[in-house]
């Protein structure tokens, strides 16, 4: 079984971080994983995306062209990648930033005002993890008990204070 | 019979290929003598340039490497960083150091690399047959400035010591000449001091030696020395341009 | 079992160098390899004798490598395509001086300033020399993050053993991607036994004649002799160090040849083609120089056609044609400029090859 995920939005929204969290979670669960960022001069503000693959087989191309799961965090990314989601795939949209809704009937779409929720709950910059939390509630991708361990790996040692906040954002997303 | 004068141990017995009257031989000797006097020849690693001194690796009786054109200070940086206990020097001409290798020269000086650079300024590219150098004087005739160096088109010659003396890091920068016994003695003192500074870990030093190229200047050796005194020393003033430790060390 | 850590390919290269005993790194910033320099900048100052130096240019960096290598130390520089072009003078000098060194090229699109997206368009530059003169580098092409680590370790060993420059030739995908990596125990690294470097410039200390590291030989016969001797060593490298991997080639009618990141894309296409009943296999050169000519020639006796998948206009394809002596058609599946082919594009080319 192979799951291809794509996180797409602006640089600075924590797309790479969210992807890294899932990659670590996959690693902890003993799966093959790959994580590939788009890279370039747009460190902040430009469109950016991150391909993550979790698989039980050796991973070929690390580039996700047709995602099983798409997390879209800005309109250009939504428009670009929504049509590419595989049939029976999952679409998660930050509806605080993206006003459109998918007309596709062959995918499961979820609309969470993640950026608004993050702002309301005083967790700026954690819309990424709210969406990730929602993903974990609608998809059997990961085991619940993997999450804290994966987060501990993902948050840099010198920023462990952020660990709890990230876990809180995931919990918030689950409930959203 | 008592020996009153001999070749320094720092030089090999290989006959030098330099033209008659060329001052490279004198400067080689001064560098080798300095290493001998400081008992550093066994620790020394020299970097030969591209230019007339390319064969310097045959003449210095210490470990030697031949560097690409202009890159000697970068090679010396690698050598010194890898083996800080060695005494690393480059021996470069004006084209090598002040044209193609300007970046390596300036940046190694800026970093204060603990190396010694011996810079031969004879205002011309010697090995390739006498082309205009970055240090060629205004109006000076060379193969590539046949009507005399036109400063309106090629700018004024680079004063390397003055340029590098604007940097914070270099420990010691002096311009000397080898046109007279007095100046040869002064040059010996300067080169010795530069090596001494390196041995003491004081950092970057560069000794510019205002030199002659009788062959490509189209002069006899004696005429060349006179021309050096008359024209070069006026533009390239001898003296200490930077000495961060002046007074600290009895040279 | 050592722990698996997630790491970027670029970081894996840097970690491999450190674990291989490299303590001298000289570099200059260029995308997409900057993580190597950043990693070295962080780690080297914490290591005994560790030296990280950001050089003033690519040219200076490779010459610093020359200096450190001449001093007998393991030294490395890394860059991306335009920066490697700048280093090519130094690569030629390294060859002429018979100095060991490791140079990493995380390729990006070209020519000129090109772009920053992944590319394999420096294949000719890497495998045919790059700089002036008759010479080769050992060219290693990892196709995953673990291999970025493993082949960098091997690169240092090959460099020391044969007094040659080893180039790790990779691309922006592999440099930027993260995958799990396991580090071998120190003693299992091949480089546990250091190579004697009696030629190193460490000062004579009055105990031996001077060592001279030099590539200038004015006598043509002497220069020729030195080049011929070097090529004899290249022959030895070809005999002992050629590496490749084959996947499902036993019954293959179609053989894909691809290296690095494109080999992974090709592997996806291979599975899709097999699912359609097409007998397709993959040969992945791990060393691009020496090139795995013999296994390709052997496959040419059974296969109907070859498909070369590359992020260039078809540079390696020429070596495949040479290796198989043009006995079978070699189709090109190429994208360039930073564009990466999809597995579907590769599949389409396989189908075209299968039709004959």
B249 within some domain: no
Please give the share of chain B, as a percent, with pLDDT higher than 90: 96
Same domain, residue pair C234 and C319: no
- What residues form DSSP beta bridges with C24? C51, C75
What pLDDT is attached to residue B39?
98
Chains near C with 3+ CB pairs less than 8 A apart are A, B
What pLDDT is attached to residue A85?
98
C206 within some domain: no
Same domain, residue pair C79 and C22: yes
Domain assignment of residue C337, given as a range: 245-355
Contacts of residue B20, defined as CB under 8 A and 6 or more positions apart, other chains included, come to B214, B221
B194 within some domain: yes
The per-residue b/e assignment along B40-60, b for 16 or more CB within 10 angstroms, e otherwise, is bbbbbbbbbbbbbbbbbbbbb
- What residues form DSSP beta bridges with B240? B174
Contacts of residue C352, defined as CB under 8 A and 6 or more positions apart, other chains included, come to C331
Distance from CA of B98 to the nearest CA of C (A): 15
Contacts of residue B81, defined as CB under 8 A and 6 or more positions apart, other chains included, come to C24, C51, C53, C64, C67, C68
Contacts of residue A25, defined as CB under 8 A and 6 or more positions apart, other chains included, come to A142, A146, A147, A149, A150
What pLDDT is attached to residue B222?
96
Contacts of residue A36, defined as CB under 8 A and 6 or more positions apart, other chains included, come to A50, A51, A52, A62, A63, A64, C173, C176, C177, C178
Task: Return the higher-pLDDT residue of A161 and C304.
Answer: C304
Q: Reduce the secondary structure of chain A to three states and give it as a string.
A: CEEEEEEEEECCCCHHHHHHHHHHHHHHCCCEEEEEECCCCCCCCCEEEEEEEEECCCCCCCCCCCCCEEEECCHHHHHHHHHHCCCCCEEEEECCCCCCCCCCCCCEEEEECHHHHHHHCCCCCCHHHHHHHHHHHHCCCCCCCHHHHHHHHHCCHHHCHHHHHHHHHHHHHHHC
> Where residue C57 sits, what CATH number does that domain have?
3.40.50.970
Q: What is the tally of structural domains in chain A?
A: 1
Q: Is the pLDDT of residue B21 over 50?
A: yes
B63 within some domain: yes
Domain assignment of residue A127, given as a range: 2-175
What pLDDT is attached to residue B5?
87
**Which tokens is A85 given?**
């989601």
Phi, psi of C189 (to 5 degrees): -65, 135
CB contact under 8 A, B86 and C90: no
Q: Judging by beta carbons within 10 Å of its beta carbon (0-12, 13-18, 19+), is residue C247 exposed, middle or buried?
A: middle
Q: How far is CA C202 from the centre of its chain?
A: 30
| Residues of chain B with a CB closer than 8 angstroms to some CB in chain C | 12, 41-45, 47-48, 54-55, 57, 60-68, 71, 74-83, 85-87, 103-104, 106-107
CB contact under 8 A, A33 and C180: yes
What pLDDT is attached to residue C193?
56
Helix A127-138 and helix A15-28, axial crossing angle in degrees, nearest 10: 40
DSSP letters, C27-48, are: E---TTSHHHHHHHHHHGGGST
Count of beta carbons in the 10 Å neighbourhood of residue B230:
9
B8 within some domain: no
What pLDDT is attached to residue C187?
56
Report d(CA C165, CA B13) in Å as an integer: 34
Phi, psi of C70 (to 5 degrees): -60, -30
- Pair type for strands A32-37 and A47-55: antiparallel
> Where residue B73 sits, what CATH number does that domain have?
3.40.50.970
User: How many contacts does A have with C, using Cβ atoms within 8 A?
Assistant: 61
Q: What is the tally of structural domains in chain B?
A: 1
- DSSP conformational letter for C276: T
Give chain B positions within 8 Å (CB) of C213: 64-66
What pLDDT is attached to residue C129?
78
Q: Is the pLDDT of residue B79 over 70?
A: yes
| Reported confidence tier of residue A41, pLDDT bands at 50, 70, 90 | low
Q: What is the tally of structural domains in chain C?
A: 2
Residue C207: closest CA among chain B residues belongs to which residue? B42
What pLDDT is attached to residue B214?
96
Phi, psi of C205 (to 5 degrees): 50, 25
How confident is the model over A115-135, as pLDDT tens digits? Answer: 999 999 999 999 999 999 999
Residue C65: closest CA among chain B residues belongs to which residue? B78
Please give the mean pLDDT across all residues of chain A.
94
Domain assignment of residue B109, given as a range: 24-243
Report d(CA A9, CA A97) in Å as an integer: 10
Contacts of residue B65, defined as CB under 8 A and 6 or more positions apart, other chains included, come to B45, B46, B47, B48, B57, B75, B79, C66, C67, C70, C97, C201, C212, C213, C214
Same domain, residue pair C195 and C268: no
B62 within some domain: yes
Picking from C179, C248, C270 by the largest number of A CB atoms within 10 A of its own CB, the best residue to mutate is C179
C223 within some domain: no
Q: Judging by beta carbons within 10 Å of its beta carbon (0-12, 13-18, 19+), is residue B102 exposed, middle or buried?
A: middle
- Contact between B117 and B105 under an 8 Å Cβ cutoff? The reply is yes
Same domain, residue pair C50 and C188: yes
Q: Which of A27, A61, A65 sits opposite C4 (nearest CB)?
A: A27
Same domain, residue pair C277 and C312: yes
What pLDDT is attached to residue A129?
97
B16 within some domain: no
Report d(CA B227, CA C27) in Å as an integer: 44
- What residues form DSSP beta bridges with B87? B44
Phi, psi of A36 (to 5 degrees): -135, 115
What pLDDT is attached to residue C189?
59
B15 within some domain: no
**Which tokens is B184 given?**
């040869």
Report the pLDDT averaged over residues A89-97. 98
Q: What does each of the 356 residues of chain C score in pLDDT, given as a tens digit?
A: 678 999 999 999 999 999 999 999 999 999 999 999 999 999 999 999 999 999 999 999 999 999 999 999 999 999 999 999 999 999 999 999 999 999 999 999 999 999 999 999 999 999 997 899 999 999 999 999 999 999 999 999 999 999 999 999 999 999 999 999 999 876 555 554 578 999 999 999 999 999 999 999 999 999 999 999 999 999 999 999 999 999 999 999 999 999 999 999 999 999 999 999 999 999 999 999 999 999 999 999 999 999 999 999 999 999 999 999 999 999 999 999 999 999 999 999 999 999 97
Count of beta carbons in the 10 Å neighbourhood of residue A83:
9
- What residues form DSSP beta bridges with A53? A4, A34
What pLDDT is attached to residue A40?
66
pTM given for the model: 0.94
- Contact between B83 and C23 under an 8 Å Cβ cutoff? The reply is no
ipTM over 0.95: no
Q: Judging by beta carbons within 10 Å of its beta carbon (0-12, 13-18, 19+), is residue C86 exposed, middle or buried?
A: middle
Please give the mean pLDDT across all residues of chain B.
96
How confident is the model over B203-242, as pLDDT tens digits? Answer: 999 999 999 999 999 999 999 999 999 999 999 999 999 9
Which residue has 């001797």 as its token pair? C229
Report the pLDDT averaged over residues B155-166. 98
Give chain C positions within 8 Å (CB) of A23: 6, 178
What pLDDT is attached to residue B251?
46
């Amino acid at each position: 079984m192979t799951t291809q995920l794509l996180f797409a939005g602006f640089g600075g929204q924590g797309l790479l971080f969210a992807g890294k969290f899932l990659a670590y979670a996959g690693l902890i669960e003993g799966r093959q994983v790959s994580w590939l960022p788009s890279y370039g001069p747009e460190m902040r503000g430009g469109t950016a995306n991150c391909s993550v693959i979790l698989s039980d087989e050796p991973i070929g191309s690390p580039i996700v062209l047709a995602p099983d799961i798409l997390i879209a965090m800005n309109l250009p990314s939504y428009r670009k990648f929504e049509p590419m989601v595989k049939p029976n795939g999952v679409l998660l949209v930050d509806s605080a930033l993206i006003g459109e809704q998918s007309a596709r009937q062959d995918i499961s779409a979820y609309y969470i005002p993640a950026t608004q929720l993050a702002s309301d709950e005083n967790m700026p910059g954690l819309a990424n993890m709210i969406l990730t939390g929602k993903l974990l509630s609608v998809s059997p991708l990961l085991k619940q008990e993997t999450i804290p361990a994966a987060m501990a790996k993902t948050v840099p040692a010198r920023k462990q204070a952020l660990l709890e906040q990230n876990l809180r954002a995931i919990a918030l997303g689950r409930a959203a | 019979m008592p020996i009153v004068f001999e070749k320094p141990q720092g030089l090999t017995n290989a006959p030098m290929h330099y033209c008659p009257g060329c001052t490279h031989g004198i400067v080689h000797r001064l560098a080798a003598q300095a290493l001998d006097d400081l008992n550093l020849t066994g620790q020394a690693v020299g970097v030969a340039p591209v230019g007339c001194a390319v064969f310097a690796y045959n003449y210095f009786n210490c470990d030697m490497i031949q560097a690409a054109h202009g890159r000697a200070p970068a090679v010396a940086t690698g050598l010194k960083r890898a083996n800080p206990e060695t005494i690393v020097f480059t021996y470069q001409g004006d084209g090598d150091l002040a044209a193609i290798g300007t970046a390596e020269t300036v940046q190694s000086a800026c970093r204060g690399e603990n190396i010694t650079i011996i810079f031969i300024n004879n205002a011309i590219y010697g090995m390739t047959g006498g082309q205009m150098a970055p240090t060629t004087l205004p109006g000076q005739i060379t193969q590539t400035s046949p009507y005399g160096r036109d400063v309106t088109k090629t700018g004024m010659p680079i004063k390397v010591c003055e340029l590098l003396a604007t940097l914070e890091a270099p420990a010691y920068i002096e311009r000397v000449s080898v046109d007279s016994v007095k100046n040869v003695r002064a040059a010996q003192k300067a080169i010795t001091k530069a090596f001494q500074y390196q041995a003491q870990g004081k950092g970057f030093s560069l000794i510019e030696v205002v030199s002659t190229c009788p062959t490509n200047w189209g002069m006899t050796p004696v005429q060349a020395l006179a021309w050096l005194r008359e024209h070069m020393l006026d533009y390239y003033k001898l003296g200490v341009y930077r000495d961060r430790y002046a007074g600290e060390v009895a040279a | 079992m050592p722990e698996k850590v997630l790491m970027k390919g670029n970081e894996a290269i840097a970690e491999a160098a450190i674990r291989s005993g490299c303590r001298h790194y000289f570099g200059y910033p260029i995308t997409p390899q900057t993580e190597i320099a950043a990693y070295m900048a962080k780690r080297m100052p914490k290591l005994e004798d560790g030296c990280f130096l950001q050089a003033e240019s690519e040219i200076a960096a490779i010459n610093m490598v020359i200096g450190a290598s001449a001093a007998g130390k393991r030294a490395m520089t890394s860059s991306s395509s335009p920066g490697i072009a700048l280093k090519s003078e130094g690569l030629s000098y390294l060859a002429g001086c018979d100095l060991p060194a490791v140079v990493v090229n995380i390729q990006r699109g070209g020519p000129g300033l090109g772009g920053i997206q992944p590319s394999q368009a420096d294949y000719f530059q890497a495998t045919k020399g790059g700089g002036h003169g008759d010479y080769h580098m050992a060219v290693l092409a990892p196709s995953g993050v673990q291999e970025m680590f493993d082949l960098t370790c091997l690169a240092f060993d090959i460099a020391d053993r044969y007094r040659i420059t080893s180039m790790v030739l990779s691309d922006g995908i592999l440099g930027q991607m993260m995958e799990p990596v396991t580090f071998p125990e120190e003693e299992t690294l091949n480089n546990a036994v250091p190579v004697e470097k009696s030629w190193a410039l460490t000062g004579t200390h009055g105990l031996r004649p001077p060592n001279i590291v030099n590539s200038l030989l004015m006598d043509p016969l002497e220069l020729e002799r030195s080049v011929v001797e070097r090529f004899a060593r290249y022959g030895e490298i070809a005999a002992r160090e050629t590496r490749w991997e084959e996947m499902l080639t036993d019954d293959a009618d179609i053989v894909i040849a691809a290296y690095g990141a494109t080999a992974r894309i090709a592997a996806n296409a291979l599975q899709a083609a097999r699912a359609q009943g097409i007998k397709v296999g993959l040969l992945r050169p791990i060393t691009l120089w020496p090139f795995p000519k013999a296994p390709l020639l052997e496959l040419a006796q059974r296969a109907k056609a070859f498909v070369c998948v590359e992020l260039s206009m078809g540079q390696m394809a020429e070596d495949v044609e040479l290796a198989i002596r043009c006995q079978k058609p070699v189709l090109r599946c190429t994208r360039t400029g930073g564009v990466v082919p999809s597995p579907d594009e590769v599949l389409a080319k396989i189908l075209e090859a299968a039709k004959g």
